[in-house]
Structure 1
Amino acid sequence: MAQPTYSFPDYWGESDLDVLPDDGHRYEIVDGSLLMTPPPSQGHQSIGGNLFIALRLAMPRGFRGLYEVGVRVPGGNFIPDIVVLKPGAPRVAVWSESCDVALVVEMASRSTRVTDRTLKAAKCAEAMIPSYWRVDEDGTVTIHTDPDGFEYTRSQVVRPGERLRVDAPFPVDLDPASLVD
């Protein structure tokens, strides 16, 4: 049986994503390079689902929480685990503009840990996304806020057993232990 052949560009752009297979992998672009991550584990999905529900329950009218939607950032296209859009953000966009995003959340896993801590946080800060959260496999939540265009200027780490309390983009109060089944 013949195998399909692919022609890969030297520099990846958003339109190149349309020709990639719908195979369960997440394809993202950073500065012309293609990033591919495997489908998430059950633990990853469980933590993400629990946090998504907590955020939806805390979310004021007008904000919209979405799971695995596209966001444009300078030099790239990301598909974060959770995105909270600001009131008034377009509802039909395939790729949301970063100016419409209030919060990006990434669930770190073995395959994404380094990228989530460094590259994605830096690109979200450059995009001036007000809040970037990273949730580790044990439920620890690292909250980055106040982007200055190059990096987030404030960070807070909240571990299971402690209370996570934030006011932005809207008030959220939870124990990260509740995220882990």
Structure 2
Amino acid sequence: MFAHGDRLTRRDLETISDERHRYELVDGTLLVSPSPRPLHQRVVARLLAALTPVCPADCEVLPAPVDVVLDEFTVLIPDVVVGRRETFTERALVGVPVLAVEVVSPSSRHIDHHLKPARLAAAGCPYYWVVEPTEPTLSCFRLVDGGYVLDAEATGEQMARLDRPYRLDLCPAELVSSH
């Protein structure tokens, strides 16, 4: 499809028509992820249900797949993204999200803990959350001096009481519960 060694761009990414996988770019390198599992999607649905009521009118909460275009060579797809309404186009969120959330899968662990937060921090995304569904754990980071610092964390039945970016209480066990 693409010549070996080429640095891919946002336009190259838009030519891919396979909908069975998630395709992202980090510095021109293509990342391919399998479709998410039910546990993963359960967490995404619960996060959407929790975030939507507290999201201000000038922002919108959306689940993947929504392209977040940070630059011509970096297009990420967070599992949940909160963006200012004016940054959404018909095809993508172009610019920096307010909040990006990743639900970790075995195949995405390194990407979700290292690659994505590094790129989002460099772009100036103020908030980044990571959910580990198997433990379950919620780690909420905020941008300070160009890097993410842990703002809140909860495991199992513990409650994460958040004040930013929105006032919200989240329990990791409730995010993964099938009830």
Q: TM-score, normalised by structure 2?
A: 0.88
CA distance in 2, matches of 1:7, 1:78: 19
Question: How far does the alpha carbon of each residue in 1:66-111 deviate from its partner, in whole angstroms, 9 at most, with x for none?
Answer: 111111225411011100113x424434232333x21000110001
Of 108, 111, 116 in structure 2, the residue corresponding to residue 112 of structure 1 is 108
Conserved? CA contact 1:126–1:147, under 8 Å? no
Aligned to 1:3: none
Instruction: Tell me how far apart the structure 2 counterparts of residues 18 and 98 of structure 1 sit (CA, whole Å).
Output: 17
Cα distance, 1:118 vs structure 2: 0.5
- Equivalent-residue separation in structure 1 for 2:44 and 2:151 (angstroms): 20
How many residue pairs match? The answer is: 173
Partner of 1:30: 26
**Structure 1 counterpart of 2:137, from 129, 140, 156:** 140
Distance 2:172 2:80 in 1: 16
Distance 1:126 1:147 in 2: 11
Q: 1:80 aligns with which of 71, 78, 83?
A: 78
Closer, same or farther: CA 51–112 of 1 in aligned 2, 3 Å? same
Gapped runs of 5+ residues in structure 2? none
- Greater displacement, 165-174 / 26-35: 165-174
Cα deviation 1:47-78 (Å, max 9, x = unaligned): 11111111112223332101111112254110
1:47-66 aligned at under 5 Å gives the runs 47-66=43-62
- Give the secondary-structure state (helix, strand or coil) at the position aligned to 1:61: coil
| 1:97 partnered with 2:94 | yes
Among all aligned residue pairs of Structure 1 and Structure 2, give the percentage whose two residues are the same amino acid. Answer: 34
Structure 1 residue 156 displacement after superposition: 3.0
Q: Return closer, same or farther for 1:114/1:164 CA change in 2, 3 Å cut-off.
A: same
Deviates most, 38-47 or 7-16: 7-16
In the TM superposition, what is the alpha-carbon distance from 1:8 to its structure 2 partner? 3.3
CA RMSD of aligned residues (A): 1.7
| Deviation (angstroms), 1:167 | 1.5
Secondary structure, aligned partner of 1:111: helix
